[in-house]
A and B are shown apart, each in its own frame.
Chain A
Amino acid sequence: MGAGAGVIGSDRRVSRARQSIDIARGSGAGGAGVRRLRGEGEGEGEAPEIVVEEAEASEDGVPGFVAKLHATISRALDDLGSLEVSTYVATDMHAVFVEEGRVIGASLRAYTRVALEGDTIACVPEQDGEVDRGLLEIHGELVKQAQAARCELIRVIVEAAARLGRGG
């Protein structure tokens, strides 16, 4: 089973992405603010209360959207600390459902956790001194896929954070 070679060293890139996000937040995320003078065009005789609305608070504005995207990327960065692949077997697939993130109605038969720095924990139960080769094979393939996907996601996140930070 892969030992997370693709993930080792990614922590530096994740850290760089965090810095880019912090820079983008500090710079006001583009500054394309929406300003409106409340009172214009409203009822005659009313005191023209002048209120400047910044788009930062508005979902319609560019800064509001960029801020939401930043928040999403930040949550992803928080989740990148480890990678988990769990393989279950079920005799009745109709009885399988998910409750609070846990798979119910199936038995956990293989589990791999790869930390960002590459430390790997793999648990595979044996039955009568034998491991289920077929199950182990697909579990290992999934771990490889998940690691490759994780590396690609880190690349996309770093690029996204950099673009959002520098404005293009």
Chain B
Amino acid sequence: MSGLTERVHTIVDALAGDAVGDDERLGGLARLLAQARGEVDLEFGVAGNEGPLARMRREWSEFRARALGELEARCWVGDGRLRTRVGWTGDLQLVLGPGVGADERASHVRSLRAEFERQARRLEVLTAVAVAARRIAGLLAGPGAAMVSALPVAFACVREAHARGEGGGVPWE
């Protein structure tokens, strides 16, 4: 089991067992879950800003819209005299310009390695969201309106798991 998935399961376990303790961020996720269940009123931000659940739904919607497409898209790594077009299954098209030195080549190979790692991580993130969403759906078990919140809440759990493992940042990058 990857570290990310393990951390996501730990977070969902805590939410399922109502064992968030005084962890502020887990508390935020528990409130999100309660809102999705319809147990508490939706919180609205100041001056009509969206509340946490609405914000998470929007952020998930934006993420989902690009995530699967970006996963498969070919991208260029490098610019200038040394570029490689990378397919997500590993196919490569390298274009070498004039006068490229050994250091530049070595640096380019490192950039490619980083891109491959990023691509593998993207699939892990999407899988973690899907697996967590199934568990969250089990916790919501209610009317349809609540069920469609399983993915946004799962996404929030994966982001939190990523932040706990990596010390912040966004899992997609």
Contact = CB atoms under 8 A, between A and B. Distances in A.
Contact of A65 (B113, B133, B144): B133
Contacts, number: 169
Interface of B: 1-2, 5, 9, 64, 68, 71-72, 80-81, 83-85, 87-98, 102, 105, 108-109, 112-113, 116-117, 119-120, 123-124, 126-127, 129-131, 133-135, 137-138, 143-144, 147-148, 150-151
Given A30-B134, A156-B120, A160-B127, A84 B91 contact: yes
A32 interface: yes
A163 B127 contact: yes
Nearest to A139: B94
Contacts of A156: 120, 123-124
Given A55-B148, A138-B96, A85 B5 contact: no
B70 to A, nearest CB: 11
Interface of A: 30, 32-36, 53, 55, 58-62, 65-66, 68-69, 72-73, 75-76, 79-80, 83-91, 93, 96, 98, 103, 106, 109, 134-135, 137-139, 141-142, 145-150, 152-153, 156-157, 159-160, 163-164, 167-168
